[in-house]
Amino acid sequence: MKFKPTVTAILGIVFIISALYAGAYQHEEISKIRSDIIVIDSMKVFGDLERPGVSFPHDKHTDALEKQGKDCKTCHQSNADGLILKFNRTEDIDQPTTLNVYHTDCITCHEDRADEGMETGPVECGECHQLEPDTIAAQQAIEFDASLHHRHIEAADNKCESCHHGYDPDKKVIAYEKGKEDSCRTCHKEETVKDVISLRLASHQQCIGCHLETKDKIESNVVKANKCAGCHEEAQLKQIAKLDSIPRLDRNQPDTTFIKSLDNIGKQMIDAVIFNHQRHEENGDSCSTCHHETLNACDSCHTLSGSAEGNWVTLAQAMHNTGSDRSCVGCHDEKQQAKECVGCHSLTEPKQHVSAGQSCQTCHSVSIDKLRTDKAAGKELMAKHYQTAPVKDTKIDFEALPSEVIIDVISKEYKGVNFPHRHIVESLMEKMEGNILANNFHQGKDVVCQSCHHNSPDVTSPPPSCISCHASSGVEQDGQVPGTKAAYHRQCFECHEKMEINDPVSTDCTACHEEK
Confidence at 38, pLDDT banded by 50, 70, 90 = very high
Q: Answer yes or no: is pLDDT of 387 > 60.
A: no
Q: pLDDT (tens digit, 9 = 90+) per residue, 257-281? A: 888 888 777 778 888 888 889 888 8
Residue 7's pLDDT is: 40
* Distances, alpha carbon 449 to alpha carbons 405, 408, 458, 468, in Å: 14, 20, 10, 17
Give which of 435, 351, 381 is closest to 271, Cα–Cα.
381
- Alpha carbons 84 and 89: distance in angstroms, whole number: 8
Question: Using an 8 Å Cβ cutoff, are 432 and 331 in contact?
Answer: no
Q: Answer yes or no: is pLDDT of 392 > 60.
A: no
Structural domains in the chain plus CATH codes: 32-137 (3.90.10.10), 146-237 (3.90.10.10), 256-384 (3.90.10.10), 398-511 (3.90.10.10)
More confident residue, 275 or 25: 275
Residue 12's pLDDT is: 42
Per cent of the chain over pLDDT 70 is: 84
Q: Answer yes or no: is pLDDT of 434 > 50.
A: yes
Q: pLDDT (tens digit, 9 = 90+) per residue, 70-129? A: 988 899 998 877 788 899 999 888 999 999 999 999 999 999 999 999 989 999 999 999
Beta strands, E only, 53-175: 54-57, 78-79, 82-83, 135-137, 166-168, 173-175
Per cent of the chain over pLDDT 90 is: 18
Q: Answer yes or no: is pLDDT of 376 > 90.
A: no
Most confident of 225-234, 286-295, 308-317, 388-397: 308-317
Question: Using an 8 Å Cβ cutoff, are 467 and 484 in contact?
Answer: yes
Confidence at 373, pLDDT banded by 50, 70, 90 = confident
Q: pLDDT (tens digit, 9 = 90+) per residue, 228-244? A: 988 898 888 888 888 88
Lowest mean pLDDT, pick from 285-289, 340-344, 476-480: 476-480
Residue 371's pLDDT is: 85
Question: Using an 8 Å Cβ cutoff, are 335 and 323 in contact?
Answer: no
Confidence at 389, pLDDT banded by 50, 70, 90 = very low
Residue 74's pLDDT is: 92
Positive or negative torsion for Cα 418, 419, 422, 423:
positive
Residue 25's pLDDT is: 35
Positive or negative torsion for Cα 116, 120, 121, 122:
positive
Mean pLDDT of 442-462: 74
Q: pLDDT (tens digit, 9 = 90+) per residue, 153-209? A: 988 888 898 888 888 888 888 888 888 888 888 889 888 888 888 998 888 888 888
